[in-house]
Structure 1
């Protein structure tokens, strides 16, 4: 174990994924049936893969009032929740999701986040620094029943338990109220599926708001409460219900939302309402809010507010977006059982790309997905351009790609990659309205059930957009590099434990289904069975077994070998405290870095030849004329060219980028090695130079993506002088001698005894001969056995 001091280069962002996980097989019998793997069929879920005659699911209805403070970027809300227990069970408590608590400094997400690589982008470093001090998460200010009587509750990280005043019997309902607030974050800095975008040029904000209210976690027959903590990857398991939501924002904002607008006369002008009515039967998108009106709103700073009222029926979630920058276009789409309004909301920065492709892509998605699943049932389908690169909610999606501004010409242009990136992400995110917004799989457990199935349908829809559409995923050849690598885990792996998220949960399942459709089953059998699955489980919650069984049931094809091969293909505690690295940002200032590099060079020992040659005769001693500039300056000396280059680049940096370059805090990356194989929490005592000892407890989930070794970043103002792993010996670690830095000597004692001097040499010779004979005998025996 060692401590090394290194410079973090602010450049390409590369994050280490850890060691490769070896492939493993559940069985050598590739065609063994899955009965012993899949759950036993019952009256809730049949052996055919269909819902049973006693299938049930909960219903949760919401009435919510929320306000966004555009000056402080804080959201405040109150909600009335009606929980209807349609299960056969009596419930003594309810679990709610508090997903915003993921942004708390001490959340499981932050505690188990592994360290970045030593090359990291400015934005990446900014996210690490800002995230470390962001005051995020819910502030729950009130939980009461309808009589305003307080209800006991407990918050466990991203979950909140409501302790009911009396047990909720099967068939009964309970109603309670919650008030809360939390600080919104800048999405491009801290990431995530929600947040705001700040436009410095016109001092405006664009809000994309999701996971914003305490909402009921799923309770269902297969797992009971789905209250697994939200660590960031495993998304949401939610219940269907009706929503009545009042959204109060500045009066000059335009709001896009899940549901149908209930008070258009109060929030839209007469002209905008006329345009909206015209769009219902239009053949191309109609502008509801024009670019000119959006520009006027950008310059407005109304001190008044408006409340937008929305109603949504039979949805599992609710999201919205709000900004004074929004252009809004819409076009009706009515075909078969679908009668909806396709709408796009985007700032002027999104044109000319968004006005041309967004609403068209929405309608194209519904046309194609309807063919393979069911008719899109909701009254609206919305695409919003904002900071979130791509995310889905009932009736509304957040999509990121925009043109870029050519500063020389003043014109906005977009690349081929941006164009198809926009079309592809809209198809993908709108497609999520089918999976999982309607076919309501448990995303917290199985990412592939929505991402994989949806990516497969995305591929079909993209291929129907134009000939030779450049799809990223779906073609079998695109997946071969990943599938022959050792750096993968089975598709049937929980969302939080996947190594390569895109390949595992999106690409490989999509490729598998495409091969199943084109090669194994044929299109006719596959399409019939896939549509049967979608029809059986729309507005219900399927499990992997329900999908596997339905595909076989509706096709008369035994696919157990396929599921096993494509979807399913072990130790004492000994955690070692490994290397400790001390990083600092590379200031890029040649004079500063010259001193740094020279100091590191001077820490190296002098080579033995150099030591012995000191004072020896040198040619340059007799002929000083051989000395030149390079003898006066070493290899670290900064040149004027270095300084000029630095000054030129430094002037172009934003202030926050300059601040990161001179951040003088200590960035410690500590390596941990799991030598025993059994993962455990990492428990540390960190001692600082002033004698203070900090006790740190890191959940075992830090090992979830790599059970062999992990690294953890600690940003500290003070110097660390010692670290002890498992200081109280509480994890049954079999070897505590590798648990300390600096390393501690293994303490023991010599047992001394007296011996007569005359006998000592004789005994020594006997022992020596005995050892030699023994070695010779051993060598002969070994040779014979060989």
Structure 2
């Protein structure tokens, strides 16, 4: 490869041909971009029939059409938490309103708890075997567990729903029903015509299971109590829509939930010493709270910082006491797609009600957590809830519900439901914690509370398209984390963080546009890659202003409605005026990585045909060539030459200056200058350099080309070239860049914007490879391991002092 420092060519431009320089610039910009052997046209053609045909329900712009419709399901539920047996017993009346143009002869419901039956599809399709080393006890327990999505459950309990009653709510007549794994079809007496409603009753019960952290319970052996996190706990209506008809894909555990909106009234009976948090607003705080707790809640309604409603001391006392009866907590929630609740006698509860958007409407931010979560939870949880609502609301739609709750579920993980989320993150038993634990807890609270927007308000089909809620939410989480703390260690969002996944073999990847249950590497694929893609669109492809406007418009259009991927893609283009089909194809439908190679740089300059200028340039070049090592040494080593010592050895050529300007040169110079136009003269006198940069697309994924040029005077400049530069040749392109300064170094993607998987080929001249480092150590040296910095600081403090768990 030629080196930049010695690359010098000259366009031999005469008076008559000088104008061709501009033409040559254009030719270099598109050099080698033709030919049928490339895939560029495929990559940059419109998606066309790859997206569903627009209609009166969903328009070509990505907005809901004039005939858009969606069903409604209202619930009246009475349930009891059996703390002694870890069981839920319930009865519900569902009123289903048919807003579709279709007549419905039967209704489909989701029975998600049937995932845990031993004969479920999920359990029967578990894979794995015994390796050469045998099998661990945990693995053996998992084989015997009722489902592959959780392990360690023992005993003789049966799991899944026990359906005891299915009746017409008005007549009391039994309804015929069929259970197909996690789905149940109910046959209704007469077809449900458009615009009409039908109400029916279901009685049911099930044994509570632990499921990832999405729902279940946590047992605390020291005090013998349970914290309950109850979700997908009642038979729920499946979605019937214009895209799928009945969406009754089986629940296999990975693809989450698809649900219609409705209104809920829920009565939850629990031991009388339990504290309950739930979707919606409690209707009977006056019956379930003590006078002291009610007074504190009233104080919290006017506080800008969290007020503790149930203190840690009160919660610890409740752990030791025994219940003396039962209480029923009554909740109502309007226009939500689901309902979840939490219950425990161990809970500390804090809250504040603030005007988050300065619009005169206050929203409750609340947290429920046991003492095992402190000091982290008391300090950070509720404030994080409020921050999340503000951050997301500013870039999507304002949070419409009256309350948002963060509940400390387990040591890790998290799960979201309308107005309530179950979140992990727990300090050590001594109250200390690592920076990672703190960031992880704040991050998961932002993520799960953020799910109120995607998919609880923008109601996507999680059973099919995990990325539409997880990816969009992870992107907003990344932005909210950066607004929380300037140095927040976000795991996902920055392009370089997705590089290890993008480097994996293509056989180990699937496109983002894969059905939820068929995704490999679920976290990178459904969370990180779409979130990173949106960040690339915002920062590099579209710019913040265009992206933010379009993203907000998508949320506005589809709030309390159910968009598809095509609705998102079309809206982003419609509201921004940016053609993004190439990006959807590459990033969402493909698995190719970005890998740009700065293969070559050629340096050109216009050759000034002015005789005076030519002689000056030739003289400078000749003087430079004299600076050889021999000539430099000879200046001192040769004291005197023969010619210097004897003047008779001199003649005409010893004093002749071949670069001297003659009268003829001056005459020709005037003639040359007069032949040039004013613009040509300015261009020639500018002394510009022309660098022809050759970039190869080794990864296959088209991306913008971002080039940093470092100049010899210490300054630098960034050139941004849109991805459309690859539209005629997706293998390699050449681009001519004019500069007034000389470039010493070119660098591709200097700010790590495009998730380039190989940055070793991004510089020209090539940088030397980084050395592999080895560790120099002293024999017998010891470095403490296994302690977080708080514990180390606490351990090193003098006696009589104490390190706080807060920072």
Residue 73 to residue 489, structure 1, CA distance change in 2 (3 Å)? same
Distance, in Å, in 2 between the alignment partners of 1:26 and 1:224 is: 37
Write out aligned runs for 1:33-432 (5 A).
33-115=46-128, 118=131, 123-131=138-146, 135-146=158-169, 147-185=171-209, 187=210, 191=212, 193-336=214-357, 337=359, 339-387=362-410, 389-405=413-429, 411-432=430-451
Distance, in Å, in 1 between the alignment partners of 2:362 and 2:223 is: 38
SS of equivalent to 2:473: helix
SS of equivalent to 1:464: helix
Quote how far apart the aligned CAs of 1:192 are.
5.5
Q: Provide, for residues 113-172 of structure 1, a one-character-per-residue CA deviation record: whole Å limited to 9, x for no partner.
A: 211674776545434334376511000000001221101110000000010100000000
Quote how far apart the aligned CAs of 1:249 are.
0.5
Q: Provide, for residues 281-336 of structure 1, a one-character-per-residue CA deviation record: whole Å limited to 9, x for no partner.
A: 21210000000110111112114100000000000000000000000000112133
Distance, in Å, in 2 between the alignment partners of 1:211 and 1:504 is: 25
Decide whether the 8 Å contact of 1:294 with 1:327 is kept in 2: yes
SS of equivalent to 2:484: coil
Distance, in Å, in 2 between the alignment partners of 1:162 and 1:416 is: 52
Distance, in Å, in 1 between the alignment partners of 2:388 and 2:88 is: 33
Quote how far apart the aligned CAs of 1:543 are.
0.1
Decide whether the 8 Å contact of 1:137 with 1:182 is kept in 2: yes
Write out aligned runs for 1:693-712 (5 A).
none
Q: Provide, for residues 545-574 of structure 1, a one-character-per-residue CA deviation record: whole Å limited to 9, x for no partner.
A: 0000000000111000000001111xxxxx
Distance, in Å, in 2 between the alignment partners of 1:68 and 1:26 is: 60
The normalised TM-score by structure 1 is 0.67
Decide whether the 8 Å contact of 2:57 with 2:65 is kept in 1: yes
Moved more, 155-164 or 299-308: 299-308
Quote how far apart the aligned CAs of 1:413 are.
1.2
Match of 2:759 in 1: none
Flag structure 2 segments of 5+ consecutive residues without an equivalent.
1-37, 148-155, 591-807
Q: Provide, for residues 337-382 of structure 1, a one-character-per-residue CA deviation record: whole Å limited to 9, x for no partner.
A: 5521000000011101100110011011011101110111100000
Match of 1:679 in 2: none
Distance, in Å, in 1 between the alignment partners of 2:130 and 2:105 is: 47
Match of 1:32 in 2: 45
Distance, in Å, in 1 between the alignment partners of 2:261 and 2:392 is: 21
Quote how far apart the aligned CAs of 1:480 are.
1.2
Match of 2:31 in 1: none
Distance, in Å, in 1 between the alignment partners of 2:126 and 2:157 is: 16
Decide whether the 8 Å contact of 1:446 with 1:493 is kept in 2: yes
Match of 2:550 in 1: 529
Distance, in Å, in 1 between the alignment partners of 2:144 and 2:214 is: 19
SS of equivalent to 1:161: strand
Distance, in Å, in 1 between the alignment partners of 2:395 and 2:212 is: 34
Distance, in Å, in 2 between the alignment partners of 1:289 and 1:160 is: 41
Residue 67 to residue 26, structure 1, CA distance change in 2 (3 Å)? farther
Distance, in Å, in 2 between the alignment partners of 1:318 and 1:26 is: 49
Match among 481, 485, 493 for residue 474 of structure 1? 493
Residue 27 to residue 41, structure 1, CA distance change in 2 (3 Å)? farther
Distance, in Å, in 2 between the alignment partners of 1:117 and 1:462 is: 42
Distance, in Å, in 2 between the alignment partners of 1:280 and 1:339 is: 8
Distance, in Å, in 2 between the alignment partners of 1:93 and 1:500 is: 37
Residue 155 to residue 27, structure 1, CA distance change in 2 (3 Å)? farther
SS of equivalent to 2:492: coil
Distance, in Å, in 2 between the alignment partners of 1:492 and 1:154 is: 32
SS of equivalent to 2:387: helix
Q: Provide, for residues 610-664 of structure 1, a one-character-per-residue CA deviation record: whole Å limited to 9, x for no partner.
A: xxxxxxxxxxxxxxxxxxxxxxxxxxxxxxxxxxxxxxxxxxxxxxxxxxxxxxx
Distance, in Å, in 1 between the alignment partners of 2:137 and 2:481 is: 35
SS of equivalent to 1:29: helix
Match of 1:727 in 2: none
Flag structure 1 segments of 5+ consecutive residues without an equivalent.
1-24, 406-410, 570-786
Distance, in Å, in 2 between the alignment partners of 1:389 and 1:117 is: 28
Aligned CA RMSD, in angstroms, stands at 1.6
Decide whether the 8 Å contact of 1:358 with 1:383 is kept in 2: yes
Write out aligned runs for 1:535-554 (5 A).
535-554=556-575
SS of equivalent to 1:207: strand
Distance, in Å, in 1 between the alignment partners of 2:39 and 2:381 is: 45
Decide whether the 8 Å contact of 1:105 with 1:134 is kept in 2: no
SS of equivalent to 1:391: strand
Q: Over alpha carbons, which structure has the higher Rg?
A: 2
Decide whether the 8 Å contact of 2:213 with 2:422 is kept in 1: no
SS of equivalent to 2:576: coil
Q: Provide, for residues 365-414 of structure 1, a one-character-per-residue CA deviation record: whole Å limited to 9, x for no partner.
A: 01110111011110000000123720000000000111111xxxxx2211
Residue 244 to residue 404, structure 1, CA distance change in 2 (3 Å)? same
SS of equivalent to 1:526: helix
Distance, in Å, in 1 between the alignment partners of 2:516 and 2:368 is: 31
Match of 1:10 in 2: none
Residue 279 to residue 122, structure 1, CA distance change in 2 (3 Å)? farther
Distance, in Å, in 2 between the alignment partners of 1:558 and 1:385 is: 43
Residue 26 to residue 537, structure 1, CA distance change in 2 (3 Å)? farther
Decide whether the 8 Å contact of 1:339 with 1:377 is kept in 2: no
Q: Provide, for residues 44-91 of structure 1, a one-character-per-residue CA deviation record: whole Å limited to 9, x for no partner.
A: 000000000110000110000000111111110000100000000000
Decide whether the 8 Å contact of 2:79 with 2:267 is kept in 1: yes
Decide whether the 8 Å contact of 2:213 with 2:415 is kept in 1: no
Distance, in Å, in 2 between the alignment partners of 1:552 and 1:339 is: 35
Distance, in Å, in 1 between the alignment partners of 2:39 and 2:391 is: 37
Residue 172 to residue 276, structure 1, CA distance change in 2 (3 Å)? same
Match of 1:752 in 2: none
Aligned length: 537
The normalised TM-score by structure 2 is 0.65
